[in-house]
Amino acid sequence: MKASRLSAGYGRRVVVSSVELELQPGELTVVVGPNASGKTTLLKTLAAILKPVAGAVYLSGEDLSCISSRRRARMVAAVLTGRPDVGGMTVEEVVAMGRYPWTGPAHILGPRDRKAVEEAMEKTAVSHLRERRVSELSDGQFQRVVMARALAQQPQALILDEPTTHLDSRSRLEVFTLLRRLAHVDGLTVVASTHELELAFRFADKLVLVADGDVVVADDPEAMALDRRFLHAFGLDEKLRLSPATLSVEFTSDAEMNQGPSVFVIAGAGTGAPVYRALTKQGYRINTGVLHENDIDYHVASSLGLNVVAEKPFQPIGAETFQRAVNAFDVSDAVVYTCPPIGGLNVRNLELLRKSLGKGLPTYILSTTGATYFEGVETVHSVRMLLEKLPTAQEKKMKTV
């Protein structure tokens, strides 16, 4: 499937312009973009439901806007959003509607048609629902039925607009797994749009960004994670952060919201992450350290936008770094020690704990295993308990007054 100098829109109004796309059979292309960016318009134009404002869409060398709707429907099938009012039909009847471009005026199914319907229902795992009325289906089941209907058209290209909206995470995964199979195993050209960036990165062979009337194509989806236009379109350069390593999105805490007491968290190896998130939610300002730059806690803390005292990977904590952590104590109202595993490289974190006790700061040890590490220091056993002990924003205000 190929789009050249394609402008998509309604009537004269152009929504996305000068699109150059080349999609191969056996490839799953995922279209991402913020709301109202023109994803749907682009997909409908690719499916030849909308006429291109300019340019053309070719499939197997044929201009889709120049062939009969019947022939077109044998070549490209579309799954659109919304739940049409066909509640009275059975699943099998709906899937059989996919044979529309193949049957005669009375829509009587021949043996080939029946076979296509059966195969489509098998691929989407809806065979057992065949007698059910569409109105009784869950959203996930309905989506699979509509996909079966599209497959019954036996198209070369399958175009889906937001096939995972309103679905729970398991159904979302099922839909994308199915799409990947249709592309890789059955050799279809599959194009789907979605809001779920994480799904898009994980499943796309090719990633297409639609934003501000422009279309950006990335043959390597991972490259998109570094693209400035992409980050800007999704606001990933502001309050949201996308980590290129794990391709997951974290929210940066809002500076205005986090005016609460300042807490220093001594963490490492993932023991800090739940504490960071819980404290951020409650509006605490957080300093944390000493973390190594290859530590998962470092990763979480920096995507949350916390102040991190960090040491270079695989280096013992140096004196200068240690001093920076101690200095941070001066602006902290409390210290939390999350019992990280201690080894040769981060042994000075223990020293840091002793320093805070020496300074007389309120210090808490979070030990989720239940063991008591240090006599004489208050030990809590869950993040919830910790939150009860820490000074609240109100208490802090009273003190300053």
Partner 1 sequence: MLFVSFLSSVLVGSVRLPTEHVLMHLFGLNRDSALLGAVVDLRVVRTAAAVLTGVSLGVAGAMLQSLFRNPLADPFILGISSGSSLAIAITLVLGLGLGFVQTYDPYALYTAGALGAAATSLLVVFFSTFAKTSVGLVLAGVMLGYLNAGITTLIITLSEVETVRAFSFWTLGTFSAAKWSVVEPVLPLMLAGLAVAFLLGKPLNGLAFGDEAASSMGVWVRGSRVATVAAASSVVAAATVVAGPIGFIGLAAPHVARLAARTVDNRFIIPLSGLTGGTLAVLADITARSIMPPLDLPSTAITSIFGAPLILVLLLRSGRTV
Q: Which residues bind partner 1 (CB under 8 A)?
A: 44, 47-49, 69-70, 72-74, 76-78, 80, 82, 84-86, 88-89, 93, 97-98, 100-101, 103, 105-107, 149-150, 153
Q: What are the C-alpha distances in Å from 344 to residues 239, 313, 341?
A: 36, 13, 10
DSSP secondary structure of 326-391: HHHHTT-SEEEE------TTTTHHHHHHHHHHHHT--EEEE-TT----STTSEEESSHHHHHHHSP
Structure tokens at 364: 């808490």
Which residues share a beta bridge with 266? 289, 337
* Closest CB to partner 1 among residues 92, 311: 92
Which residues share a beta bridge with 9? 14
* Closest CB to partner 1 among residues 142, 264: 142
**Minimal distance, residue 38 CB to partner 1, in Å:** 16
**Minimal distance, residue 63 CB to partner 1, in Å:** 17
Whether the CB-CB separation of 68 and 100 falls below 8 Å is answered with no
Cα separation, 149 vs 121, in Å, equals 8
* Closest CB to partner 1 among residues 58, 100: 100
Per the listing, tokens 């709906």 go with 94
**Minimal distance, residue 300 CB to partner 1, in Å:** 44
**Minimal distance, residue 91 CB to partner 1, in Å:** 13
**Minimal distance, residue 13 CB to partner 1, in Å:** 17
* Closest CB to partner 1 among residues 102, 234: 102
**Minimal distance, residue 81 CB to partner 1, in Å:** 10
Whether the CB-CB separation of 281 and 256 falls below 8 Å is answered with no
Cα separation, 38 vs 210, in Å, equals 7
* Closest CB to partner 1 among residues 129, 301: 129
* Closest CB to partner 1 among residues 49, 387: 49
**Minimal distance, residue 40 CB to partner 1, in Å:** 10
Structure tokens at 126: 């809806």
**Minimal distance, residue 161 CB to partner 1, in Å:** 10
* Closest CB to partner 1 among residues 188, 266: 188
* Closest CB to partner 1 among residues 67, 218: 67
Distinct helix (H) and strand (E) counts, the chain: 15, 18
Q: What are the C-alpha distances in Å from 265 to residues 39, 124, 377?
A: 43, 49, 15
How many residues does this entry show for the chain?
A: 401
